[in-house]
Amino acid sequence: MPETEPPAPARGSPPDPAAASGNATATRLTGAHRIASAEVTGFFDALPHGTVLMRLWARFGLLMGQQLARVVRDDHVFLIVMAAVVGTTSGVAAGALLAWIEYAFRLFPRPEESSALVRWAAVIGVPVLGGLAAGGLHFVLRRIIRQPLVMGIPAVIEAIARKQGTIGGRQAVIAGVGTGITIGSGGSCGHEGPSVAIGAAVGSVLARFFGLRMRWHLAMVGAGCAGGLAAAFNAPLAGVVFTVEIVFGGAIGGNIGTMSVFVPLIVAAVAGTFTSHAIRGEHLTLRQSSTATPCSPRWACSSPSPCWPACSAR
């Protein structure tokens, strides 16, 4: 027999309590789902396990991220805002690193007006002293405290490829301290790798604080790399290209997905550069002291050399 529809209630009959309760429950569920979809987008991850203090801190960061997502009301705009926050913080960290390097340079003795023997002893002894200090710091952290370190760009690539982009903030601070000691004492290293590592740590810490999922966690790590390098060398375009080619290229084969991952790199690099300008002002990474031709008047005019036209015109 064909199924028949239930008879409709009479016009004057009272409403069915069960049907009314079901409709109200469905309405509440729909409203709750709408609120949840507005507050918790695809960016956020579940709360991690740990101590009570860690759970409270993680819940606070997750609530802040959800509140920002609810205010912005657009996933793309939310990602751009997060990249700007990461880039600005990376710019501050890069500025602090450069200031620490300059301060450490003034800590070590520079006997420029002493005798030749003292100057030669300083040329040899000061880098040795800085190397001993940096090596002692490394030994204490690795052997006694058992604290892992971020050893430049290869460690960032390994963290992205094997550790889901997780980099600790203490590792970045320790790397910055060791970098200042090494460069300030005249050691043969630069601040390119530490700037990238510190920026990546900033992006990882902020991504974990706001409770972002792994895909957007990696995007924020890349944004930190671009922002830190751009702020350190006043080169936003170089920061973006370097992150895409070297960091992401070495970790995931250059597959950065859609533009939703590439755009945060640009935003973070620009934000980091502007932050560096605001902190340190307009500055040149490499300064040229003079444009004069370095020729000696004793022999340059008496022998054919590239300086001869300039000397003959005197």
**294 has a pLDDT exceeding 50:** no
Element at 304 (helix H, strand E): none
Q: Are 81 and 206 in contact (CB under 8 A)?
A: no
**197 has a pLDDT exceeding 70:** yes
Instruction: Please tell me the number of Cα atoms within 13 Å of 222 on its side-chain side.
Output: 35
Instruction: Please tell me the number of Cα atoms within 13 Å of 205 on its side-chain side.
Output: 19
Tell me how far apart the alpha carbons of residues 47 and 186 are, in angstroms, rounded to a whole number: 45
Residue 306 DSSP class: T
The pLDDT value recorded for residue 44 is 63
**70 has a pLDDT exceeding 90:** no
Enumerate domains of the chain plus CATH numbers. 74-280 (1.10.3080.10)
Is this structure's pTM higher than 0.95? no
CA 17, chain centre distance (Å) = 58
Tell me how far apart the alpha carbons of residues 100 and 232 are, in angstroms, rounded to a whole number: 13
Tell me how far apart the alpha carbons of residues 124 and 17 are, in angstroms, rounded to a whole number: 92
- Residue-averaged pLDDT of the chain: 73
pLDDT in tens, 145-182: 676 666 688 888 888 888 888 888 887 888 888 888 88
CA 103, chain centre distance (Å) = 23
Lowest mean pLDDT among 21-25, 136-140, 163-167, 252-256: 21-25
